[in-house]
Amino acid sequence: MIWFNYFSPIIMVAAVWIAYRVGKRSRDQLEQQGLGDVGQAKIVVRDLEQISQQVRRSLVSHHASIVQFKERISKLTETGDSEALMELTREAEQILQPTIQLASQIAHAYDDIRQQTDQLSSPEQLRTDALTGLSSRRAMEDILKMLFAMKSRYDTRFAIALIDIDGFQKINDQYGHVRGDEMLRSFAATLDSTVRETDVVVRFGGEEFVVIMPETDLPGSCVFGQRLRKSVRDKLDLTVSVGVAEARDGDTLKSLLSRTDSALYSAKAGGGDCVFQHTGRHIELARPLKAVSLPPADGSESDASATTAAGA
């Protein structure tokens, strides 16, 4: 197996490329048969109906509250009850909060609808996120399936990182979606410049991103997460929360993403601007970058760093 250990990075890169081409060919065949777009359209319609129903329920509930409030104001204005009017003023402030929440909900629905309609594009476009130019979630699933197959057959290793921009919704609420989209593009460019050539960067949805790191173990993924935090802070004056996990025996695509998402949730719950790792048994805060042994600056790899140089 010595020869395999030597060539495994090359095999891994080739596997990722093959996954891309094979997946694309399969989707092109479905496109020619007229099956892919129809099935995808049904999914999009279902999701859009759910979004519209949720927003509609919120609008109806909020509208009823406002109507009742207006009726009370009309009655109190006729009686001239100053104390009751003061009480209504306080109630108005309470009504304002759901209004803000509803506006945020509609903004999220706008983003969901835009992403769903993007999925009705051509098969090639489905593999690329229209806003950032990064790989799409569909491309991510194809690559991870190939990496799982490689792990099962050759006992290779890989890790993923799930990244969320801290406080991004406030940017959308304060400056609008145009500014929010600009920020997402800038972040995507910074993220893409931080990874290795063999890594795959994916826009997972909204302000969440995934980095797939072949030939990387859990400590190596933590190194990447800490480096990304510093790079984003220095270049964009933003902070990010990062959850990382390494694929383990018995993992599936769903279970790996679930463990990584749990690590990210812990990072967000901890106040953000940090990296949490899922060891397979528990979730813990990753060591700061200065406490991690880094590979040589000349790019050579020692035995100890061969699988932990993510982001080098």
Query: Rounded to an integer, what distance in angstroms lies between the CA atom of residue 224 and that of residue 113?
Result: 32
3-state secondary structure of 149: helix
- Scan for tokens 């080098």, then name that residue: 312
Contact in structure between 296 and 288 (CB atoms under 8 Å):
no
Q: pLDDT tens digits for 37-85?
A: 556 566 666 666 666 666 666 666 666 667 777 776 676 666 666 676 6
CA distances from 83 to 65, 76, 93, 247 (A): 21, 10, 16, 64
Question: Which residue among 207, 246, 284, 301 is the active-site one?
Answer: 207
Spell out the SS3 assignment of 51-112.
Answer: HHHHHHHHHHHHHHHHHHHHHHHHHHHHHCCHHHHHHHHHHHHHHHHHHHHHHHHHHHHHHH
Query: 192 exposed, middle or buried (CB, 10 Å; 0-12, 13-18, 19+)?
Result: middle
Contact in structure between 201 and 191 (CB atoms under 8 Å):
yes
Residue 166 DSSP label: T
- Spatial neighbors of 244 by CB under 8 A, at least 6 apart, are 159, 160, 161, 162, 218, 221, 222, 224, 225, 260, 263, 275, 276, 277, 278, 286
3-state secondary structure of 293: coil
Structure tokens at 247: 């694929």
Query: Rounded to an integer, what distance in angstroms lies between the CA atom of residue 72 and that of residue 77?
Result: 9
DSSP 217-245: -HHHHHHHHHHHHHHHHHHHS--EEEEEE
Is 207 among the catalytic positions? yes
Q: pLDDT tens digits for 160-191?
A: 999 999 999 888 888 888 899 999 999 999 99
**Which of 125, 127, 124 shows the shortest CA–CA distance to 143?**
127
Rounded average pLDDT per 10-residue block, the chain, 312 residues? 46 50 44 50 63 67 69 68 67 64 62 58 68 92 93 94 94 87 95 94 95 96 96 95 96 96 96 95 85 40 39 43
| pLDDT score recorded for residue 221 | 97
Kind and range of the H or E element at 8?
helix 2-33
